[in-house]
Every structure is written in structure tokens, then in C-alpha cells.
């Protein structure tokens, strides 16, 4: 299902740092966030050792998009991008855009080959974007994307549509076109309001739902996730549980049992194994086996069964 020879897409969460607090994020929802966040970087030496082009002959996408991080907060981000820039695959950077100086963004545009892109999370055509992306600065984001685009950088505007901002969607599209963005991606949230996120997520995690066949989204995309601690896991959806487990010490479901039973830090962490070894580890086999067992991992079932999902609409400008 997953091997280094067939792998096409790697999500890399570079840090546990971020300068904002989105209302649906782990940073807001977790009871253990203060014990986990704003502490760790995936170091450059590990990246250079464990991620080498010849190891992944069919790689198509390197995606700097974690579940808790702002990738541009990594102090060696330019060097990391330079490492992957010669791979001949597509590099995507997902950012809230409100960190760094305009000169930093201009340098990034020069480092990234023309086909690579930065996806800017901007959920409004003005300061309304700051409602969901609490702590962001719309004006700062504007300055940064203008500098990046003017220096030759390719950009995508990502707009998460909620009830409070959906009236600005068409204005944002036109603004993106005028500013030189190449694409506009709309995420139509299934949540009625951001204040309901915690309740709905808790409900989803505690209700495994019907016994339907689990078809792993990441496996189908030949895609994996590496978090800022260096743990290699099948998808981003398991990351919050992966991060909470060492500090909470609580066995909540089958996933935590698999971690404990297989000494996960020695089984899937890049300090001790290669990506290929992690994908063939006891932890990964336990996760895959759970999909057909009587006791499943609730997160796998709630994420990869037929549920109400966000809709993604990408338009070329």
C-alpha cells in the first residue's frame, strides 16, 4: 500500500510553532496544547539525511502543511526549500502569510522554481479574515503576498467559507485575480459556525458510525504525513492524537493501544528509522489491520467513511 518506490506525496509538518490561533485548530481545541506546542522543530540535518531524492523515485509533491504549524516559522525554511527545489517535483507551502518580512518573501520567490506555489490562507477580502485566523494581520499578509508575487512567486488564494464571511467570496476572487494569484481555492466548510467546532469534533471522534469499508484517503493518494517530532504516520488526521498521547498518558482508543504495544518512538520516528522502515513498521501494520477488525480506530472511521465533508473548489484565475 505504501512504499518508498510508489510514494508520490509527502506532507511535512516542520515545527510546533505558529503565530495565530485558528478557531478549529488543535491550538485552540486541545487540553494539552501548552505541553506540546511552540517547542520543537524538525531539524535540517534530519531532513537532509532522511529525505533524499533517490529514495523516492516517483515523488510528485512535497507539501509543507502540518496540522499545528506555520512552516515559515522554521528558522531554516529557506535552506529546507533549497534542499527540495532540485527534486523535480512540485513544492507547496501552506501559510497564513502573516510572518516574516517582505524581503524574506522576495528571497523565497527566488529560491522556489517557477512551477512551485505558496498557498495563502486568507478567509476574507479585508480584516474579516482575522475572525477565523485569530492573531493574523490582513494588512501584513497583503504586504507579504504582494512582495512574493512581484518577485516572481506563484500563489494560490485559499478561502474557507463560513457564514460570517461567505458574502466576501466573490470580492476575494476578484482581488486575487487583480493581485496576480494563479488559482483560487474555496473550502466550503460543513460547520455552521466556528464556535461549534469543538463540540462537533468531539461528537465525531466518539461516534464510530456505521460499519462501512474504510478507504484511506492518504493511501489512495500514495501520500504520507511526517510531524514535527519526526514521527511518520499515515495521515494528518491522526496527528493530534499522536501529539497528545505522550503528555496525556491516556489510552483513549485502539490507536493509542497500537502505539504502546509497538514502542512507537522506536518504530516510526526518523531518529531511529527511515521513511520506508516506518511505512513497513508494526505501528503502520496495526493501523491498517484495524480497518477490518471488530475494534477500529475511531478517527480512521470518522474521517474515511461517508460523512459530511468540507468541499474543495479550485479555480484558475
Q: 103-118: per-residue pLDDT in tens? A: 999 999 999 988 899 9
Q: Which domains does the chain have, with CATH numbers?
A: 9-316 (3.20.20)
Banded model confidence at residue 211, pLDDT cuts 50, 70, 90: low
For the chain, give the mean pLDDT: 90
**Is 50 exceeded by the pLDDT of residue 209?**
no
144-157 pLDDT per residue, tens: 999 999 999 999 99
- Higher pLDDT, residue 62 or 249: 62
Banded model confidence at residue 228, pLDDT cuts 50, 70, 90: very high
pLDDT of residue 117: 96
pLDDT of residue 76: 98
Please state the rounded mean pLDDT for residues 195-218: 57
Banded model confidence at residue 135, pLDDT cuts 50, 70, 90: very high
pLDDT of residue 42: 96
- In this structure, the strands spanning 117-121 and 223-226 are unpaired
Banded model confidence at residue 216, pLDDT cuts 50, 70, 90: very high
37-61 pLDDT per residue, tens: 999 999 999 999 999 999 999 999 9
83-110 pLDDT per residue, tens: 999 899 999 999 999 999 999 999 999 9
pLDDT of residue 195: 46
- Higher pLDDT, residue 154 or 24: 154
Contact 234, 280 (CB under 8 A): no
Please state the rounded mean pLDDT for residues 137-142: 98
pLDDT of residue 203: 43
pLDDT of residue 249: 75
% of the chain with per-residue pLDDT over 70: 91
pLDDT of residue 307: 54
**Is 60 exceeded by the pLDDT of residue 120?**
yes
% of the chain with per-residue pLDDT over 90: 80
pLDDT of residue 245: 87
Amino acid at each position: 500500500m505504501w512504499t518508498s518506490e510508489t510514494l508520490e506525496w509527502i506532507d511535512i509538518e516542520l515545527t510546533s510553532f505558529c503565530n495565530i490561533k485558528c478557531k478549529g485548530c488543535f491550538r485552540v481545541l486541545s487540553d494539552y496544547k501548552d505541553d506540546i506546542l511552540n517547542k520543537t522543530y524538525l531539524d535540517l540535518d534530519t531532513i537532509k539525511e532522511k529525505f533524499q531524492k533517490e529514495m523516492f523515485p516517483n515523488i510528485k509533491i512535497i507539501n509543507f502543511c502540518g496540522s499545528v504549524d506555520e512552516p515559515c516559522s522554521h528558522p531554516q525554511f529557506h535552506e529546507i526549500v533549497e534542499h527540495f527545489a532540485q527534486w523535480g517535483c512540485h513544492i507547496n507551502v501552506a501559510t497564513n502569510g502573516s510572518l516574516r518580512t517582505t524581503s524574506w518573501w522576495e528571497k523565497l520567490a527566488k529560491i522556489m522554481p517557477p512551477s512551485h506555489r505558496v498557498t495563502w490562507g486568507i478567509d476574507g477580502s479585508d480584516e474579516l479574515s482575522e475572525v477565523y485566523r485569530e492573531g493574523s494581520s490582513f494588512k501584513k499578509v497583503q504586504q507579504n503576498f504582494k512582495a512574493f508575487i512581484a518577485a516572481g512567486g506563484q500563489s494560490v488564494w485559499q478561502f474557507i467559507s463560513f457564514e460570517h464571511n461567505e458574502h466576501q467570496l466573490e470580492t476575494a476572487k476578484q482581488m486575487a485575480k487583480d493581485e496576480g494569484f494563479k488559482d483560487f481555492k474555496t473550502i466550503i466548510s460543513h460547520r455552521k459556525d466556528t464556535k461549534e467546532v469543538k463540540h462537533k469534533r468531539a461528537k465525531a471522534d466518539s461516534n464510530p458510525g456505521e460499519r462501512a469499508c474504510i478507504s484511506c484517503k492518504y493511501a489512495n493518494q500514495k501520500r504520507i504525513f511526517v510531524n514535527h517530532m519526526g514521527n511518520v504516520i499515515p495521515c494528518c488526521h491522526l496527528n493530534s492524537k499522536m501529539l497528545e498521547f505522550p503528555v496525556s498518558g491516556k489510552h483513549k482508543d485502539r490507536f493509542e493501544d497500537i502505539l504502546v504495544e509497538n514502542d512507537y518512538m522506536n518504530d516510526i520516528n526518523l531518529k531511529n528509522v527511515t521513511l520506508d522502515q516506518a511505512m513497513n513498521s508494526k505501528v503502520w501494520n496495526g493501523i491498517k489491520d484495524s480497518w477490518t477488525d471488530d475494534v477500529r480506530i475511531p478517527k480512521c472511521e470518522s474521517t474515511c467513511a461517508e460523512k459530511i465533508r468540507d468541499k474543495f473548489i479550485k479555480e484558475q484565475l
